[in-house]
Amino acid sequence: MTDDKISSQIQKERSKARKLRQTQWWQRKLNDGVCHYCGGKFERDQLTMDHVLPLSRGGKSTKGNTVVSCKKCNSNKKYFTPAEIVLRDQLNKDVFF
């Protein structure tokens, strides 16, 4: 896939994510206020949408691939998958597949 196609695909998925944020489903998730990763309870303005499989790695903006995350966990996760985060934490260094 060319860089232009990849960029176009990511833009398309970001647009889908903006629409998903407007749904009742997402609003309920925000109202629950629980971070998917750390389990902490937060105010709505402290939460973000995270793609479990990042868009840059081929992830989609679907209910099955988006979770509520606190800003700290989302920043810590970056473009890694949850499995890579576990390995990174165990090995104390970044891992790439």
Confirm if 48 and 69 have CB atoms less than 8 A apart: yes
> Is residue 96 included in any domain, yes or no?
no
Spatial distance between the Cα atoms of 71 and 68, rounded to a whole number of angstroms: 10
Q: List the one residue out of 35, 37, 46 whose CA is nearest residue 85.
A: 37
Q: How many domains does the chain have?
A: 1
> Is residue 78 included in any domain, yes or no?
yes
H-assigned helices in 1-97: 3-20, 24-32, 71-77, 82-91
- Give the structural domain span for 65: 3-91
> Is residue 22 included in any domain, yes or no?
yes
CATH of the domain at 66: 1.10.30.50
Q: From first to last of the 97 residues of the chain, give the pLDDT tens digit.
A: 677 887 899 999 999 999 999 999 999 999 999 999 999 999 999 999 999 999 999 999 999 999 999 999 999 998 899 888 888 888 887 776 6
Residue 51, strand partner residues: 66
> Within 13 Å, how many C-alpha atoms sit on residue 39's CB side?
0
